[in-house]
Each structure stands twice: as C-alpha cells, then as structure tokens.
Structure 1
Amino acid sequence: MFYPMFDPTFLILIPAVALGMWAQMRVQSTYARYSAVWARKGVTAEMVAERLLSMFGLRVPVERVPGNLSDHYDPRSKVLRLSDSVWGNYSIAAIGVAAHEVGHAVQDLEGYSPLRIRNSIVPVVNIGSMAALPLFFIGFLFRSGVMMDLGILFFLGVVGFHLVTLPVEFDASRRALRLLADTGYLAPDEIRGAKAVLDAAAWTYVAATVMALSQLFRLFLLRGVIGGRDD
C-alpha cells in the first residue's frame, strides 16, 4: 500500500537530499575560508560592483539587504542587492559574489537567452511550485488521474526553471571571474579563491536541479501505481 507521505519512493529523494546538504556545507565553509582573506586591491565588494557596472554604462543601484549570502540581481527593478555578509567586505569571497551578481546584470543588458527564458517563466513557476505537489497528492488520495497529471504538468515547469537556471548561474560566474581578472581587482592567485567560492555556490544549483528531477521521477512512479490499479 502506498501513502503519499509515507511510501518507499521517498528513497529516491535521499541522494538528492544528501547532495543538497553537502552543497550547503561546502558553500558555507568555502565562503568562510575566503571571507577571511582580504583582497590586496583594498576595495570593498560594493565598490567593485559599482565600478564594474559603470564599465558597461549600467545605472544599476547597489543596495544592501539583510541576511547571509542573500545577494541577487533583480531584473525587474534593475537593482543589485548585496547581503550584510558581503556589503563592506574586502575579502576575496565577497568580491567574487558581488562580481557574480554584476554578471547577471550584464546578462540582462545583453539579452542573454537563458536569463530571458528564466525571467519569462517565473510567474508560472511560482504558481506551479505551490500547486504542483498538493494537486498531485490530492489526486493520489482520490485516485484522480486528471489531478495527478495536472500536478505533474505544473511540476515540469519547476524542473524546467531549475534546468535553465544552471547555464544562467555558470555563465554569470564565468563573466565575473573574467571581469575581475581583466580589471585587476583580484590578482591571479586571488582569482583561484573567488573561483572556489563561485564553484561551491554553483553546486547548490546543481543539487536543487537533481532534487527537482528526482521528485519528478518519484511523481511518475506514483502516477504509474494509480494508473495500474483497477477502479
């Protein structure tokens, strides 16, 4: 007998959960390591962000937001936000994170296709992420194939969002490292530290994608259980 909250298909999610925990620990430890290493250039992360943005003629405000590693570029309001842990920080780690967000702003400026796709599907994905699993498991409980299929359809949008996020994040990191090297804000040996931080952060996106794919596979398995039953 399968129950939506207590069934063997949960085992499918265990590797993804383990990968996610490892990725979070890695990004935290790597950031902590390189946040203790000040860049020799002697400029703060928000200064670097502002100067890099000005190189592209981008009049994007750089704002401070509460939190730890809550940094992001908002393509709707055209604002780059740096967290408390990055703002005012002279470290290799903070400068790498700030440059990564500048990479997103430059993607927006250039009309980078994966970013445009991701931005366009955000409203649908927001609805789908809230509705997908409730719809599916209500359908599972009442043996409604239509509701389960609708839940899977919504969840496919969530998976698509995660898949398109990967090239967006990888490309932003690539742009950041190149900008930091070309401008000299980080020396070659310091670039290696910034790359370690951004590579660790990238694993969190990989882990989220693996989790979404694992969950999708689980939903298909559960759908097959209902589909194989006689009403």
Structure 2
Amino acid sequence: MPMYGYGGLGYYRFDPTMFLLIPAILLTLYAQYKVSSTTNRFFNVRANRGYTGEDTARKILDSNGLYNVRIEMVGGRLSDHYDPRSKVLRLSQDVYSGTSITSVAVAAHECGHAIQHAHGYAPLNIRSSLVPVVNFASSMSWILIMIGFFTTRGIFLQIGILLFSASVLFQIVTLPVEFNASSRALTQLTSLGIVDDREVRQSRKVLQAAALTYVAAAVTAILQLLRLLMIANNRDD
C-alpha cells in the first residue's frame, strides 16, 4: 500500500489498487464453491462399472506401461497428487477406495500427470524446475516487499516484486499442465472403458471444476503482481 510522510514512518490512506484484487477474490470464492459442490455431488454418484480410484489408476498406469509407478493412499480430502521424484501416485482415502465418479475422475487426472512425466511433457518439466525457485521466492518475496513498504529503500521492493514474479510464472505454467492432465484423463477413461458416455460427461464436470481453482490462482497472482508494480511506480513518482 502507498505510504506518505517521512522516513518510512508516514501515515496510510486508502489504496485504490486494492480494487484490482476484487475480481480475483470473487473468482477464488466461486472456484472454491464450484469445486466443493461438484466433487461432493459426484462423490455420491457411483460409476456403473464399479472401478475404485485405485483400480482406475492401476489400469491406466499399466495400460501406458507405467508398471513402476506405485499407488499409495494418503490422508486428507482431495489431497491427491503425483510425485515425479519418487514415481508415486498418492490418492486420498475417498478417492483410493471410492467407486464414485469423483473418485474415478480424480484418480485418472493424477495418472495424466504420470503420463506427462513419462513422455517428458515440457510444461511439466518447466514447472518442476521452478519448484525450488518458487519455494525460496514465496518465503522471501513478501518479506522484502514489506521492508520496501516501510523504508525508503526502493531496492527491497523491486527485488521482492522480482521474486514474486517467479510465483506468478509458476501459476501460469501450471495451467497447461493441469488442463492437459485432465484431457489425458478423459481420453484414458473413454478408451479403456472405465466409464460410459454419460459418466464421461460427469467426469468432465468434476475436472473442469477442479481446473477452475488453478485459473483463479493464476488470475490472483497476475493481478497481485500488477498491483505491486503500480505501487512501485507510484513510489518512484
């Protein structure tokens, strides 16, 4: 937020750049509602062919020659993820043991990431290479930004914004990774006969709702970066 006064100890006034974050906040709230309502709805719809999430994952992985990818059950709700370092696909309990549309769709999506990894999908490789940078940047960027706000040393704010830009890039690169994984998932579900035509449409709804959370995260990061750049420009003026 802009500061006024002397020596970084001035007073505050309303920051009009906050208006930039309103669309991001609204989109984030909608995305959270959408993913919660959609996944809960289809957790209650059983897939006709009776595959569990674990069955689905094993069938997709084996059909793509990924016999060396292990499947593990983890705690948490919708904590599902693929770990490319250890080649382990981790499914939350409701997904691992469930036979619902949500269970099948989420398991297939994570298999999509495993297939991406096996095929050397470029955006996934880029995202993976950014992880250590983003881990450092996320912990340091706001510290430097806040120092820049409360002092007259603009260099801290500039470095903080630069580090924050790495997080923005990560969110942008995540979008094609997630959309592509969902596309691969739907292809696998159809070609392997895990779900029928009606259930493919239902699975798509689950995956689209989940993807909206990544869109919201990217929009939020971009607008926050734009806001920080505007603040830095106003300070320079």
| In 2, Cα distance between equivalents of 1:98 and 1:178 | 13
Give the CA deviation at 1:79. Answer: 0.6
Name stretches of at least 5 consecutive residues in structure 1 with no aligned partner.
none
Retained in 2: the 8 A contact 1:62–1:81? yes
Give the CA deviation at 1:43. Answer: 1.5
CA deviations 1:15-74 (Å, max 9, x no partner) are 101101110110110011111111111111111101111112211111111111110001
Give the CA deviation at 1:10. Answer: 2.1
Give the CA deviation at 1:125. Answer: 0.6
CA deviations 1:184-229 (Å, max 9, x no partner) are 100010000000000000000000000000110110011012111x
| Higher deviation after alignment, 192-201 or 75-84 | 75-84
Q: TM-score, normalised by structure 1?
A: 0.95
For 1:69-80, list aligned pairs within 5 A.
69-80=78-89
Choose which of 73, 98, 104 in structure 1 pairs with 2:107: 98
Q: Does 1:14 align with 2:36?
A: no
Q: TM-score, normalised by structure 2?
A: 0.93
Q: Which residue of 2 aligns with 1:2?
A: 2
Choose which of 48, 63, 72 in structure 1 pairs with 2:56: 48
Choose which of 29, 34, 51 in structure 2 pairs with 1:26: 34
Give the CA deviation at 1:93. Answer: 1.1
Choose which of 178, 183, 186 in structure 2 pairs with 1:169: 178
SS across alignment from 1:86 = helix
Retained in 2: the 8 A contact 1:143–1:226? no
Choose which of 128, 133, 142 in structure 1 pairs with 2:142: 133
Equivalent residue letter for 2:87: K
* Identity level (%): 49
- The alignment yields a C-alpha RMSD, in angstroms, of 1.5
Equivalent residue letter for 1:146: I
SS across alignment from 1:204 = helix
| In 1, Cα distance between equivalents of 2:18 and 2:135 | 24
Equivalent residue letter for 1:16: A
